[in-house]
Copies of this chain bind each other. A is one copy, B any other.
Amino acid sequence: MAESSRDPGEKKTTVSALLGVRNGVRAIDFYKAAFGAVELFRTTGEDGSVVAQLSVGSSDFWVADEAPEHQNFSPATLGGSTVRMVMVVDDPDAVFDRAVAAGASGLWPVVDQPYGWRIGRIVDPYGHHWEIGKPLPHAS
């Protein structure tokens, strides 16, 4: 797992998000097509449900079929998402366009924002929201 020099006492601690979805198998394929995600791990249950760990750049995230009986919900079930994913990339316009070509919906186009980021936002076919952007050079 990646390490930083920020917190030398707890280097081994990592935090990553696990996205609840309907149809995890298709969702994994979407994240590969949209973001070039690499599959690090996958386990499949007897009912076909999956839990998978994916990487994008230097970060990991997880995808799993929802299981409302275990309080694991998808955006489709709750009618929205309680977490949005922030993706920092060198070329937000290109990543945004690739995700839309793979099936995401463009919610806000990629533009320069007054708070110093060039950023846009998509909703993926599973209802998760992704902000895709990069910090702009400081106007000093």
The chain A residues found within 8 Å of chain B, CB to CB, are: 1-4, 6-7, 10-20, 36, 38, 43, 55-62, 68, 71-75, 77-90, 107, 115, 127-129, 131
Across the interface, A61 reaches (CB within 8 A) one of B11, B15, B38, B80, namely: B15
Residues of B within 8 Å of A43, CB to CB, are: 115
Contacts A10-B36, A129-B71 given; indicate if A4 touches B58 (C-beta within 8 A): yes
Q: A20: which of B10, B18, B83 is its contact (CB, 8 Å)? A: B83
A65 to chain B, nearest CB (A): 13
- Number of copies of chain A assembled together: 2
Q: Could you tell me the distance in whole angstroms from the C-beta of A52 to the nearest C-beta in chain B? A: 12
Q: List 30 A–B pairs whose Cβ atoms lie within 8 Å, in order of A's numbering.
A: A1-B58, A2-B3, A2-B4, A2-B58, A7-B38, A7-B58, A10-B36, A10-B89, A11-B57, A11-B58, A12-B58, A13-B59, A13-B89, A13-B90, A14-B58, A15-B57, A15-B60, A15-B61, A17-B17, A43-B115, A62-B86, A68-B80, A71-B81, A71-B129, A73-B81, A78-B78, A81-B83, A82-B83, A82-B127, A83-B128
A128 CA to B3 CA, complexed, in Å = 25
